[in-house]
């Protein structure tokens, strides 16, 4: 886990009341709301976004994920098995 990404994830969790996990097998950071995956990204995807735009663009991605997983009545919701990841505490 990289410190810059962990700091970003912690800030995002505080702002949007989310939980975060890191899955080391595939270098994946997962943000969840009550166990349902809202957004996931890896290290390469994180560094593709410029630092000044990260939190701004992140809000739109989280809202889209929440609308898909929590707001609408899809039957194919993605649940994260929490036991496979390392929890990132805010």
- Report, in angstroms and rounded to the nearest whole number, the Rg of the chain calculated over CA atoms: 13
pLDDT (0 to 100) of residue 56:
80
pLDDT band at 37 (very low <50, low <70, confident <90, very high): confident
pLDDT (0 to 100) of residue 30:
87
CA distances from 68 to 43, 48, 75, 77 (A): 24, 24, 10, 8
pLDDT band at 74 (very low <50, low <70, confident <90, very high): low
Give 2-17 pLDDT, tens digit per residue.
Answer: 899 999 999 989 988 8
DSSP the chain: --HHHHHHHHHHHHHHT-EEEEETTTTEEEEEETTEEEEEEEHHHHHHS-GGGHHHHHHHHHHHHHIIIIIS--S-PPBP-GGGSEEE--
Q: Where are the domains of the chain?
A: 3-88
Mean pLDDT value across residues 18-26:
88
pLDDT (0 to 100) of residue 14:
92
Distance CA 34, CA 28 (A): 18
Mean pLDDT value across residues 13-23:
89
Task: Evaluate if residue 48 carries a pLDDT over 80.
Answer: yes
């Amino acid at each position: 886990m990289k410190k810059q990404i962990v700091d970003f994830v912690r800030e995002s969790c505080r702002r949007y009341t989310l939980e975060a996990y890191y899955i080391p097998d595939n270098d994946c950071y997962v943000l969840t709301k009550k166990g349902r995956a809202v957004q996931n990204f890896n290290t390469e995807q994180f560094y593709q976004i410029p630092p000044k735009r990260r939190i701004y663009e992140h809000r739109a991605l989280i809202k889209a994920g929440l609308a898909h997983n929590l707001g609408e009545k899809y039957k194919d919701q993605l649940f994260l098995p929490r036991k496979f990841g390392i929890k990132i505490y805010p």
